Amino acid sequence: MNGQRKKIGIMTGGGDCPGLNAVIRAIVKTAINIYGYEVVGFLDGYMGLVNNRFRKLGTGDVSGLLDKGGTILGTTDSFDPFAMEMDVNGEKQEKDMSGRIADNLRMHDIDALITIGGINTITIAHRLSQKGINVVAVPKNIDNDIPGTDVTVGFISAVNTAAHALDKLHSTAESHHRVMILEVMGRRAGWVALESGIAGGADIILIPEIPYDIKAIARKILERKNKGKGFSIICVSEGCRPKDQAEADKESRNIHKTLHGAGSMIAAELDKIINLETRVTVLGYLQRGGEPSPSDRILSTRLGVEAVNMIAQGDYNKMAGIVNDQLTPIDLAEVAGRCKYVPIDGELVRIARNMGVSFGD
């Protein structure tokens, strides 16, 4: 690779979230202003690396990005260069195109690649590192389910969005004496529902880690009604499961099965048990959009700067993490293919229970 002026690549992969542009900004400014590196941004995640779609990035390109949502580099979800679907003689076949990534990086004289993404993006980055590519990862994920770091880029902003939605649902729930269900993202881990539920004063929080009993949920709602509280707020992770489904998934080893329309399914079950109107709000992609919170802007800047510092130190094939609020490099092997679940006996679950929150168990 280039023996003189270092050149680094950047890409954003997986679902978008608030703070991605802030990371890009921090990387470019640090790389150019502090180290004199050249920076190449690859477009649309690993797809851009395979197809050699890129743009050179200067400090002017990242001006004004700190509060801008999305990613100027674009991204793709569920794209795996090790199993890229291609049309071969009219048939769909999967082909390993990771070698093309290595070739393109060599062509650009890229010394190291910074991958900004979630579990899937980091897992692929780890596999690329095993092919001799120097990689540094930055963890972003509104689900906050990446091991090795206390918090991920985008999570705090997503929690803020969900908590504000719960605040708004409170007033209409109380006015109409209704049960309001807010469904938030969290297919495998329930961090968004847990933290936004606590912050937004939810009465019931349902997360994938704690399978629920619909009768226990109904009892909680009726208990509140009997105490003069004619409304209830339920915050639901999209991946939450009833106990019977959880047992079936466990036996079939399909522990990450997604229940589509979890909020609507719970509402339909409650309608059979209690005599209260139930309404469902699915927050969906509103959690991914918009400007990052001040906390996310600071986190994004810290991790972006650290990623470049790690490259300068030759500390490759690691993720820039935050442990006990301290920047801490984590080996990609300790992150790839894993998930950080909510500990069901952890502090946040305990304090929520102490506040009278039901987890439907």
CA pair distance 137, 62, nearest whole angstrom: 20
CA pair distance 297, 304, nearest whole angstrom: 10
- Cα angle 227, 228, 234; round to 5: 85
Within the chain, strands assigned E span 7-12, 38-42, 54-57, 84-88, 91-95, 112-117, 135-139, 179-184, 204-206, 232-237, 278-282, 318-323, 326-331
Q: Which residue matches tokens 């929690």?
A: 159
Element (H, E) at 328: strand 326-331
Q: Which of 107, 106, 151 lies closest to 132, judged by CA?
A: 106
- Catalytic-labelled residue, pool 143, 145, 203, 296: 143
Please say if 111 is a catalytic residue.
no
CA pair distance 304, 282, nearest whole angstrom: 32
- Cα angle 282, 70, 32; round to 5: 155
The residues annotated as belonging to the active site are: 143
